[in-house]
Structure 1
Amino acid sequence: MKKSVDILGAIILVALIATSVTLFINLVNFVKTDREVLIFHQRVKAGSSVTIEVPRFNRFDRVYLILDATTPIYNITVQPRDALIPLPMDVEGSEADATYPIMMTRHFFFVANTSEQAILVLHTQPKTPYAIKDIEGKTYFTVFSHIENGKEYIGINIEVVKFKENGFTQTILVIPFNEIIQPDFQVQGDVKVLQGKIAYVNFIIMTDIGWYAVNIVPPTIQPNSTISFNVNAGSRELFSRTGEYLGQKGLYLALGIGLYEGHFAMNETPQATLAIGNITIINGGKNTTIPSKILYEYDLHYRLYVFRKFQPTHEHLLLISSLILEIIVFNYIAIKLWKTKMRR
């Protein structure tokens, strides 16, 4: 009799454990976040509005939009306005951005405020060869074509929205490089300051080891002035280093434009307008020219992610109730078997 009770108890125990595990796995699968990814491209004209339809979402779902960073956007609006709320999160210029993986992309985050569909409206600017990003402070920039004496430049107007705690902003114009830096490395180009006040313009070399910056336009430059620069292995960097980047893998090259709060009066709009000419890169005997040309019609590529937040349903409640019931029954039978065994 005792042996039969032990066998019955073991069978019931195994059955309870198996059903509990099954219920738990199903419950975990319900909790998993669902994700929808849309990859598209559109042919757009600068100055036009681009609409992106967001699939139907539920409240508290997250929407994540990734754009090519060489596509400047004036701003993004949502229709209906309160359907998606922009998250107070800015990855542009963050430490993550400085580690390169998202340098050539632009990111926008939203959280759903309602359960419905929405449209994102992108207000576009002309496209340049550069990814234009803030790495210090926050600015609002516009790009345009500037022609002087028959020569074309990429014009950029930078207006400060918020200075960093140190009183500076820095906006960078970035291009991919992806080459080992050779002894003959040099970069030549022209920069014009059209109006406003700058703190500096630096040429920045981003390698797989670190950043190296060479000042090419000083703060004393006057408006309507042109600087022709030549950065090479003998150029002295801001930390008095020369040529330390030789032999390293250059990932990106950039122009860093800095504005300083102390240069502007209280009632003065902190802004500067510059023009960038052709830039020629020489490395390993090869010449590459970055043209000072902007495009008014181009392909806009983007990826849209919709992360579905877990929403409890009656099925989840049923599974949880079943799991609780399993635990109660398991404990009840275990106690009964223990009492029976103790009596014997």
Structure 2
Amino acid sequence: MKNANDYWFNFEYTNKIKVGFIGCGGHAYRNVYPTFDYAPIDLVAVCDLQLERAEAYKTRFGAQRAYTDYKEMLKNEKLDAVFMVLNYDKNDHPLYSRFVPDILAAGLPVWIEKPLAYTAEEGERLLELEAKSGQFVQVANKRYFYPTYVKAKQIADSEAFGETVSSSFRYPLTLSRYREDIGTRIFSSQEMEHTALKWFLDICHPMSAIHLIMGDVKEMLFTDHQPSGNVQTIFKFKSGAIGSLHLTATQSPLAPIERAEFIGSNLQNVVVDNGMRLIYYKGSKGSSTTFNSGATYIGDDPADGPVIWEPEFSLAQLYNKNLFLQGMVQSVTQFANAVMEGKKIEKSTLADAVHLTKIFDAYKQRSDQWITID
């Protein structure tokens, strides 16, 4: 009998949901379809504008039928849910807001990749449709499921940690110039001068981790350095906590992608390095009776000191697979279990994604002013 931290292989599940998959691109091939090996998923049909790709994915991932028209797939197949991974339109805007309404209208829950939309207004319209449909949308902001951030959340919520009062985050993104002529910033491949890694719609990556631990943002103020695109942001959270986000467009490509730190009110803090290494700082230094006379930095009880978790890659464990380290399997499994149990999902919700998109909207505005996040 497997315990709560073990995952079943697909063939071990006695109950599965029947799904259709819209999108046969490279990201889906690497990071989404393979998660079905560890989730209660029965892949019935795949759909792509290119029939050759759909047929290839059908064969590779064991689907029964391939389509080029998703509406035909929805009409012909008896599905429990839909997965959708799409590209961007010619203006580099996400496409999901155009397709999700049809899935909800068909009476099906849907799992989609991030980012949700180019504007929060698009996301809010989807929220209305979601409520009317009785179904739900899960947006795959994967840092809600990273083992490191999930554990950091557990620590931050503990009585020993106290109230989470402040945070800091570093992540490599670039911010385009504010256009006085149109009163906004434009985020497109034509406008941005830096690499795809620094594409600003990926603000949902650091913000989803921050949101998981700190909750909703109430207000924010940012200042940007041009032409480098580096940004410093101050957040005030609805909880009363404060935080910062340093967007480092010009950091070394050899540096770790990200670093996060969350500070508690009880002289404790937790650090996530590069998304993979978790450090929990607690305890105290060695006791001393006289000021400045301490001879050791190690606590009187060595067990009451910093705790460090990091993966090892020498064993063939599931937790060493990127699909688990980046929370993709956990995201898909949450969705599949919610569909089977007829429940709503707990995190990475459509409402969460809309909040993250409001942060994206805020960065389109002029810098050096406090912006309220509704």
TM-score norm. by structure 1 comes to 0.28
* Structure with the larger helix share: 2
TM-score norm. by structure 2 comes to 0.27
By relative contact order (CA 8 Å, sep 6+), the higher-ranking structure is: 1
* Structure with the larger strand share: 1
